[in-house]
Amino acid sequence: MTAASDALIVIDPQLDFCPGGSLAVMDGDAVMAPIAALARDFAHVVVTQDWHPAGHSSFASSHAGRQPFETIAMPYGEQVLWPDHCIQGTSGAEFHPAIADAVARADLIVRKGSNPAVDSYSAFFENDRATRTGLAGALRDRGVTRCVFVGLAYDFCVAWSALDARREGFEAVVLKDHARAIAMPLGSGTSVDAAEELFAAHGVVTSM
């Protein structure tokens, strides 16, 4: 059972992150219908939407000689370079059709990544870690104390959002069965391992 103080935060359920999209997460489409069903149990639903202008600084195509998934130093820190994705007004930026019921129930749709100079993984902050989306205040105004995170991708935008929820004083739960990961290689592990180490350190609960 969910409480009136719980919010379901659906991270980036967009076509570009699903099979066939420009930044596809393996099996990303498989979680969409289950998330839509889950949303019926929550009084508060938030959906985030990656919403990049063309030529965004996080795109590899914006940097001569660079390839997707390389990293570069940006004024706000290290940045992974991505394939062009979720460009404003394109079909890839649209929500997956199987998530339509959840979108219809949403109190808020938070668009992020629209500043061409700064990427934005988290539902709460841009990657400069200073610019707020306004979500934390909106949740507090609704009496929310616990955020339940689902969507794409588990080890990037879902993870950063859950960690920032803790930073903002909310309880944070990530439902692994309702998320899918990119799992980029990082040293001896992957971005999933890195995310889960941070979850353990900061009190993010993971649940199947």
Out of 84, 155, 157, 164, the active site residue is 157
Active site residue 128: no
Out of 6, 12, 29, 119, the active site residue is 12
Report helix, strand or coil for 184. coil
Exposure pattern of 70-86 as b/e (b: 16+ CB <10 Å)? Answer: eeeebeeeebbbbebbb
Query: How far is Cα 87 from Cα 56, in angstroms, rounded to an integer?
Result: 9
Whole-Å CA distances, 69 to 23, 42, 60, 80, 136? 11, 36, 8, 6, 30
Active site residue 112: yes
Query: How far is Cα 144 from Cα 136, in angstroms, rounded to an integer?
Result: 9
Out of 18, 29, 84, 112, the active site residue is 112
Active site residue 12: yes
Q: Which residues participate in catalysis according to the annotation?
A: 12, 112, 157
